[in-house]
Amino acid sequence: MIIFVRGFYMVQLVRNARPMIIAIDFDGTLFDGFHTGDYWNNCILYPTPLLNTLMDLKDKYGGCLYYILFTCRCTTEELEEIIDLCEDYGITFDAINTNYPDLPFETSGKVYADLYLDNRANGVPIDCGYIENYIASIVESDLIRPFTVEK
């Protein structure tokens, strides 16, 4: 795990293996749609290329990856709808808007993840090849470990 600390790169020694935690947005990231009026209401959703990439990675690395559906959709009806849609396409999540259960530290209200995937993160489309290579390099390098930064 490389941690950026005040202008220096520092390699943090790690232990106690855990999966790589990936928080994944739904709207525009896993599924996109043609819509009018209200932003995501009453639109036809279709899977993005990232959906297949994430399914392939989960098939390949299994328990090394922990997927959290991280979405602003919060009503039970909305969540059930998108969870069912994801399952229809073959992707399931380990958690919905909640943290990995065995984190060795407390978090704020935001879900903790090693990687956040969101189409609005930096204003450019998600490069599935880059994401696949990035995740694979971490999993295969055995860098999936909890970490703490000592002060």
Sorted by where each begins, the domain ranges of the chain are: 17-140
> Per CATH, is 17-140 categorized as 3.60.9.10?
no
How far is Cα 68 from Cα 92, in angstroms, rounded to an integer?
A: 9
State the first-to-last Cα distance of the chain, in angstroms, to the nearest integer.
17
How far is Cα 49 from Cα 30, in angstroms, rounded to an integer?
A: 8
Quick check: 150 pLDDT over 50? Answer: no
The whole-number pLDDT of residue 8 equals 42
How far is Cα 65 from Cα 76, in angstroms, rounded to an integer?
A: 26
Averaged pLDDT, 122-147: 78
DSSP 33: E
How far is Cα 18 from Cα 34, in angstroms, rounded to an integer?
A: 38
The whole-number pLDDT of residue 138 equals 85
The whole-number pLDDT of residue 32 equals 83
The whole-number pLDDT of residue 131 equals 93
Output the CA angle 19-20-22, nearest 5 degrees. 130
pLDDT tens digits, one per residue of 41-77: 556 678 889 999 999 999 998 888 999 999 888 788 8
Quick check: 94 pLDDT over 70? Answer: yes
Task: Please report which confidence band the pLDDT of residue 4 belongs to, taking 50, 70 and 90 as the band edges.
Answer: very low
More confident residue, 80 or 38: 80
